[in-house]
Structure 1
Amino acid sequence: MDTSDPLRHHTHYKQSDSPYAGGSSFMERVSEGVASGMGTVGFLVVSSGIILAWVLTNHVIHFLSNSWKGLLNGQGFDPAPFILLNLVFSAVAFYTGALVIIAQKAQTRTDKANEEAAAKHRDELASYQGELLERNTKLTEQIHALSEKVAQLTEEVHHATCRGGSSAPAPEPA
């Protein structure tokens, strides 16, 4: 097993043509960017500014420029129930929903790729641990055999030196 690349199980992120590299199409990448941008404080500030400008342009500026005429008639480019503004909000809600769904699909594919990579990594680790356990068992058996051989040789040396097994006289104590 080649362990030189610590990110070898996450190569699907590196490949630009991979379906897991932030989405498989341009539109999916755009939708992920838009969906992540819509969930920010900046988006709320800009949207609130646009709404405020819309209301000011339709009523306050018109009212100030036409004074009583604007107050009595209330004729802006989008009259009081703000039908056009409502249409814009509906369109934003539609596109937001669609973009969120597209982004969720792309995230699901990314999660699936991560899970597959993690499963492959677990399988490789289990295989490698099995190999290590097998090698460790063989080494333990070899150590046991060598220990038995050392014990046997020690016994032979002991018999040869202590029980008169050799023709040489035993050394006398000093």
Structure 2
Amino acid sequence: MANTPFRHLASRITGDRARALDPEEERVLDKMNERLPISRDAADVADERSTIGERLADRVAAIGGSWGFIIAFTCVLVGWMLLNSDVLTHWGHAFDPYPYIFLNLLLSTLAAIQAPVIMMSQNRQASKDRLAASLDYEVNLRTELEILRLHEKLDVAIAERLDQLLAATVDTAR
């Protein structure tokens, strides 16, 4: 990055660290120099970076962790048990009679697949949280640098005005 007024301000603020700025700090200085906004929506950035598998894991976790899924799954289980119970199969044609071994196999398979998918979604959410924290840091750094720059401008303007007043006072005293 070229030596800009913002680089000079950052070097004054950070001291010796100015030569080894983090990528986020470099990005903030670049955006300040270009007079562009730094804020970005963390959800949009995360969605841009996500793969098809990650989006699928999010959908599975969203569906599997909903009341609609729990109610529908309970209805399926009750229906399965009723179809294979002695109540409705008085002809003796139950395809999975009590103790519902096939149903247990299906439930175990579902749990074995659903648990890692939900964990993938949780890992992705943690990654989104880290990204949001990083973006917040960039915005906060930009804000801090802009405030310091404004303070510097005000200090210079006040010093110039005081010099003018002092010069006018000296001239009127003569």
- Give the TM-score normalised by the residue count of structure 2: 0.70
1:23 deviates by 6.2
Q: 2-side partners of 1:3 and 1:82: how far apart? A: 67
Answering whether residue 27 of structure 2 is matched by residue 9 of structure 1, we say no
5+ unaligned residues in a row in structure 1: which ranges?
Answer: 157-174
User: Residue in 2 aligned with 1:24?
Assistant: 50
Q: For the residues of structure 2 that align with 1:129 and 1:105, how far apart are their CA atoms?
A: 36
1 or 2 for the larger relative contact order (CA 8 Å, sep ≥6)? 2
Q: Quick one: percent identity of the two aligned structures?
A: 21
- Distance change >3 Å, CA 13–CA 3, structure 1 → 2: farther
Determine the C-alpha separation between the residues in 1 that align with 2:168 and 2:82: 98
Alignment match of 2:83 (pick from 21, 32, 57): 57
Match for residue 64 of structure 2? Answer: 38
Q: Does 1:151 align with 2:169?
A: yes
SS at match of 1:61: coil
Larger helix share, 1 or 2: 2
Work out the number of aligned pairs and report it.
Answer: 141
- Name which of 130, 133, 150 aligns with 2:151: 133
One-letter identity of the residue aligned with 1:62: T
Q: C-alpha separation between the residues in 2 aligned to 1:43 and 1:11?
A: 30
CA deviation vs aligned residue, 1:120-163 (integer Å, no higher than 9, x gap): 2222222212211111111110121122123234434xxxxxxx
Note the alpha carbon deviations across 1:49-69, whole angstroms, 9 max, x for none.
101110111113213xx3xxx
Answer yes or no: is 1:118 the counterpart of 2:136: yes
Aligned to 2:153, what secondary structure does the other structure show? helix
